[in-house]
């Protein structure tokens, strides 16, 4: 089943296809080099398919444009209304964190979507995915919105969970 996460970056175009491919190669996540589409993985991000195992669904990394980006931003803003912190933090802390998240989302200049099948990812693919997301968060001054799960900052530290 397809699942998406979004990195909402304040920096514009924080990553290229080649940078992602280099990061994967340098991280030595897989025994064999993944296949990329397009190949070679050069140029602006646009859309990049990472096939880490020919028997499994690829990971798609895509820079969203106009309406799709606006939709992802709106969805993330809506989700802040259901954001929760551990009960011991209290309502004042929740309001402060939600406000910080909302401000960040409103200043978003670039949206990167990761689309993948959670059941198809190997342990190595999960580690690679987490590493790439964290790198883009750092370089793009971003936060990650995991659909119906939560908001994450640098080092994929939980900022707030989504109330279900």
| Predicted local distance difference test score (pLDDT) of residue 90 | 83
Token pair for 143: 């936060």
| Predicted local distance difference test score (pLDDT) of residue 148 | 87
Q: Is 74 helix (H, G, I), strand (E, B) or coil?
A: helix
| 133 φψ region: left (φ > 0), alpha (ψ -120 to 50), beta (else) | alpha
Q: How far apart are CA 86 and CA 91, in angstroms?
A: 10
DSSP structure string for 34-53? PEEESSS--SB-SEEEEES-
| Predicted local distance difference test score (pLDDT) of residue 88 | 73
The series of mean pLDDT values per 10 residues for the chain, 164 residues long, is 95 89 90 93 93 96 95 96 84 91 96 96 96 95 95 95 83
C-beta atoms surrounding 14 within 10 Å: 22
pTM: 0.92
Q: CA 60: distance to chain centroid?
A: 11
| Predicted local distance difference test score (pLDDT) of residue 82 | 92
| Predicted local distance difference test score (pLDDT) of residue 13 | 80
Alpha helices by DSSP H, listed for the chain, are 17-27, 66-80, 90-106, 123-139
| Predicted local distance difference test score (pLDDT) of residue 98 | 93
| Predicted local distance difference test score (pLDDT) of residue 108 | 96
């Amino acid at each position: 089943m397809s699942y998406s996460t979004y990195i909402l970056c304040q920096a514009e175009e924080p990553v290229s296809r080649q940078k992602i491919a280099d990061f994967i190669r340098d991280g030595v996540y897989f025994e064999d080099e993944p296949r990329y589409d397009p190949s070679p993985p050069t140029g602006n991000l646009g859309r990049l398919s990472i096939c880490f195992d020919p028997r499994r669904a690829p990971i798609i990394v895509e820079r969203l444009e106009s309406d799709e980006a606006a939709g992802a931003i709106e969805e993330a803003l809506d989700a802040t209304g259901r954001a929760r912190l551990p009960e011991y933090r209290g309502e004042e802390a929740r309001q402060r964190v939600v406000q910080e998240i909302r401000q960040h989302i409103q200043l978003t200049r670039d949206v990167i979507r990761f689309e993948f099948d959670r059941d198809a990812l190997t342990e190595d693919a999960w580690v690679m995915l987490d590493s790439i997301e964290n790198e883009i968060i750092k370089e793009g001054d971003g936060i990650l919105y995991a659909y119906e799960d939560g908001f994450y900052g640098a080092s994929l530290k939980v900022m707030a969970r989504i109330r279900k």
